Structure 1
Amino acid sequence: MSPRVFRETVENLSPILERRVTFYRKPLQPDHIVAYALYRWASGETYESSSCGFGIGRASGLVAVRDVTAALLSVYREKVAWPTGVWKAVVLRAFADKGFPNCHGCIDCTHIYIDKPANVAPEDYYDRKRRFSVVAQVVVDLDLRVLDVFLQNEKNGHVRD
């Protein structure tokens, strides 16, 4: 991600991510929160190891990722969507020209390692290597814009999207 895109993203998400100063702590700044969430998604590291490098606690890391996800989906709702109208025709034609008729996007799945879930049967989140994870399915279009995200655990199915 270029510095310009990072700055623009932080600027757009800041109204949602800004925190109040309290008696107990100085709040994390929006650029710090966004940088951590992006790093966590890109690296796949555990919250314990990744949050330490950013000078924040595990709980703050969990909240940061949750809040940045919600903010991105709120601010960029038109960017995370299935193609419609003329753009849908362009995408369908481009994929058909590449030998994939009636295709709207590309799909891939991967395991995302998570901390041990609380208040659920932990064995439901074990992968084949006995690590806690969820399976992420992501669909992107020709320009690598995210069209859909679906998360599920190994055993019981749908987590959220």
Structure 2
Amino acid sequence: MENSDSDEDYDLLLRIVIQRRKKIVQCRPNFFTLYDEKDFRERFRLCKQAARDVLELIRPNIQHATTWNNSLSPEHMLAIALRFYATGSTQQLMADAAGVSISTVSRVITLVSHEIARLRKQFIQFPVAIKEIRKTQKDFFMVSKFPRVISALDCTHVKIQSPGGDHAELFRNRKNFFSFNVQTMCDSKLKILDVVARWPGSTHDSTILRNSKIGVRLQSGEFENAIVLADKGYENNDRVLTPLHSVTNEAESLYNESHIRTRNVVERSYGVWKRRFPVLSLGIRVACKKVQPIIVATAILHNICLLHHDSEAPSLPPEVDQQIIAALNIPNNRGSNGRIEKNAVRNDIINGYFSTL
């Protein structure tokens, strides 16, 4: 163009420069001050104090060094991520609502999800101390009088977009949509004690348990005589108890009824978790490698919400407390080789406890 003598070429270039879009910085409201407690909770699914607590934990890792180029504040970044979890909307809508670009929304969701997921060891913990194990078992006993239960176990599918590539069909589950099969364990208060979010949707539930760290810890006897309740999709053994396929007497019927009522807490936890963060049920439309931190981050936020709304458990009457202690001390029936037989623990609980009710 410098060597061109054409006035038309020069005029064309001038018009292009003039018409080039200028960078527009839209208004970015402070949602912590804009909304009252009720409106904030409706939009972000957390109370303000819970959100502030999370913000202070991740602030050092998400805050920009300077405010050059109108960089987002940690408050705005957390709000974008929470709004994404709470709505499951497209990143275009998120960008329009937050007054930023789509690429910025994508980076913010990835960064914030990763930093919240790093809080996993702090907020997702299995009870280890004897006092904690006994407290968890007593709380489960109050649900439907099932002894020695430390957790309820199940898997749920979190919908994703097709990951593409040669291995995409591994993520298609039996319900014919793409997903991650996420294993969780929860206590009687719906708190998530363990989460495994790395298996594609076609993976069987029992395969996830066998290859998980918590499965190894259970079989090693780390939690004493504690047991976990699971559905019929799992193998019954000395640590994981499943319901009977058929009942022949009243004790077995009571076992099945109590098992179903007690294990139901994990199903309820999924309902609360997915209603609080609809992105888990509507579908996470991001790259496959970014899905796992989002799942773990929402599990952590779910537990944080429970911490901010839980009330103290009522004290137990002395006679009920003694009944629980007796139920917790049902012995394990070991074979001649010192190993527990496959169905021995289930039979001991049925014959030694439910037959006496």
Distance in 1 between residues matched to 2:94 and 2:176, nearest whole Å? 21
1:38, distance to aligned residue in structure 2 (A): 2.7
What's the offset of the Cα at 1:14?
0.5
TM-superposed CA distance for 1:15, in Å, is: 0.6
Shift of 1:55: 4.3
Cross-structure match for 1:92 = 137
Alpha-carbon distance between aligned partners in 2 of 1:145 and 1:37, rounded to the nearest angstrom: 22
TM-score (norm 2): 0.37
Which residue in the other structure is 1:140 paired with?
186
The alignment partner of 2:118 has SS state of helix
Contact 2:151/2:186 (8 A) holds in 1: yes
Matches within 5 A, 1:6-17: 6-17=51-62
Which 5+ residue runs of structure 1 have no aligned equivalent? none
Q: Which residue of 1 aligns with 2:247?
A: none
Higher strand share: 1
State the distance in 1 between where 2:98 and 2:158 align.
20
CA contact (8 A) 1:44 1:113 kept: no
Cα deviation digits, residues 56-83 of structure 1 (max 9, x gap) = 5555445434433432343462221111
2:316 maps to none
SS in 2 for 1:78: helix
1:5 counterpart = 2:40: no
Task: Mark the runs of 5 or more structure 2 residues left unpaired by the alignment.
Answer: 1-45, 209-288, 297-357
In the TM superposition, 1:18-97 aligns within 5 A as: 18-20=63-65, 26-45=70-89, 47=91, 50=94, 53-56=97-100, 59-75=103-119, 77-85=121-129, 86-97=131-142
CA separation in 1, counterparts of 2:140 and 2:95? Answer: 40
Does the 8 A contact of 1:80 with 1:147 survive in 2?
yes
8 Å contact kept, 2:186–2:194? yes
CA–CA distance in structure 2, aligned partners of residues 53 and 11 of structure 1: 24
Shift of 1:111: 2.8
- The separation in 2 between residues aligned to 1:136 and 1:107, in whole angstroms, is 11
CA RMSD in angstroms, aligned pairs only: 3.4
Quick one: which amino acid aligns to residue 18 of structure 1? Q
Greater RCO (CA < 8 Å, at least 6 residues apart): 2
Answer yes or no: is the 8 Å Cα contact 2:186–2:193 preserved in 1: yes
Q: Which has the larger radius of gyration?
A: 2
Q: Which deviates the most, 4-13 or 103-112? A: 103-112
Q: Distance in 2 between matches of 1:140 and 1:79?
A: 13
Identity %: 22
Q: Alignment partner for residue 122 of structure 1, among 168, 177, 191? A: 168
Instruction: Considering fraction of residues, name the structure with more helix.
Output: 2
Q: TM-score, normalised by structure 1?
A: 0.71
